[in-house]
Amino acid sequence: MTTTLGAIVQAADRQGGWQVYVIHTDGRSGASSEPGGLAIGGSVCEVVDASDHEPLRRMLETLARSTDATGSPPPARRLLVLDGFGAFERMQEPVNRGWAVETFLDLAANGRRHSLFVAVSARRRMELPPSLLHHLGDRIVMRTIDEDEATMMDGPAELAGVDLPPGRAWVRGHWAQIAHPTPTGAPARTVPRRLDHDVPVARLHPATDTRPWALPIGIERRISVSRRSTSRTHTPCSVDHPRSGLTNALETIGAVAGSSGITVQVMPEAHPAEIAAHVRDAVQRASREPTRRFMLVVEDLDRHGDDPELSAAFAALFGDLRSSNLRLVAAGDPLGLLRCYGDTVTRLRSMHTGVLLGADAHDIGDVLHHDLRRRDDIPAAPGRGWLCHRDGASVVQVAHR
């Protein structure tokens, strides 16, 4: 089976104009260097192991987004090759509720209209679901285990013969001999794409967003710059456990804001009355200097979220909608924020905007009124969590200084 798929990949490479994506189930990471391997020629863009969940999801997400896009067709034909559907299904059914399996089936069903074609192998006819068989055009039937299975695949009984040579197949009602692929050069080498856990601020690209409060703070699951847009938004940042990376996240936000010309003021740990005084001073300063931008950072908001005096000070900040040069970044324990019923925390949560950090951040989406699903393909790491906004949420790795 692998040899047959290798022959298909090489045929696409020789023809030119193809981009090939390969999923294998043999447990080897990276590209195979064997003659019968699938990483043959320069047309192979990426090779991933079906058990390597994060790069696999990235590949399928990239292809799925291209089939959702409207407008001009993609610049090249694309071929998605899956070697061993049965093993792929066993590996991926427990992961993210079988997302990868459903996405592959959807690509097989709808990809052709977007110049995306699928080549898939299986050891047994019963491994392929009817929904997939229905969308496969040509079938290459190799030697079967018995005559019944040959009949099920519309092939002759001779397909069950023990003397059938390797590569002999039944194609479109005729016998065929599959050619053995012979790579002419070095096999394609691809690096699986993963969300980096070590992202210094210096690696972030400058914000291309023209809005003054669009600040790059990390990289998203799509390996692109993640921006925290605070335009007319006051953003809570929630932490799940002590080693989630909250302190680093606040430092990163402050550093990026400072490098963008924003005056950052961090509220000291103090009595709520003292914090309230600092907040009032910040509001007055922003009113006196309308041409400057100010950012107010408040930690442990959950400890004082229901304090009347502090709530009154924040109400003045929220109420001054004419002032677009002052923003609030607040941090706190998610469970503590959920127990706060004061107007300050309620208004912050209602904005649906912030960063939820920690290994179990998907369990605390209620803090920002988001329904987050566990991502089994993304390993936990300090500074990793969910970037939430009104339009949705995505996995993010916050950069560090």
**Residue 352 burial by CB count (10 A; 0-12/13-18/19+): exposed, middle or buried?**
middle
All structural domains of the chain, each given as residue ranges with its CATH number in brackets, are 2-177 (3.40.50.300), 201-398 (3.40.50.300)
**382-398 per-position pLDDT tens digit:** 899 999 988 889 899 99
What is the distance between the alpha carbons of residues 382 and 197, in angstroms, rounded to a whole number? 8
What pLDDT does residue 124 have? 85
Strands 116-121 and 77-83, by their bridges, are: parallel
The token duo for 241 is 């456990």
**Residue 72 burial by CB count (10 A; 0-12/13-18/19+): exposed, middle or buried?**
exposed
The token duo for 129 is 């679901």
pTM confidence score: 0.75
Strands 214-220 and 225-229, by their bridges, are: antiparallel
Mean pLDDT score of the chain = 83
Range scoring the smallest mean pLDDT among 36-45, 65-74, 167-176, 352-361:
65-74
Q: What is the DSSP string of 310-346?
A: HHHHHHHHHH-TT--SEEEEEEE-HHHHHT--SHHHH
**83-102 per-position pLDDT tens digit:** 999 999 999 999 999 999 99
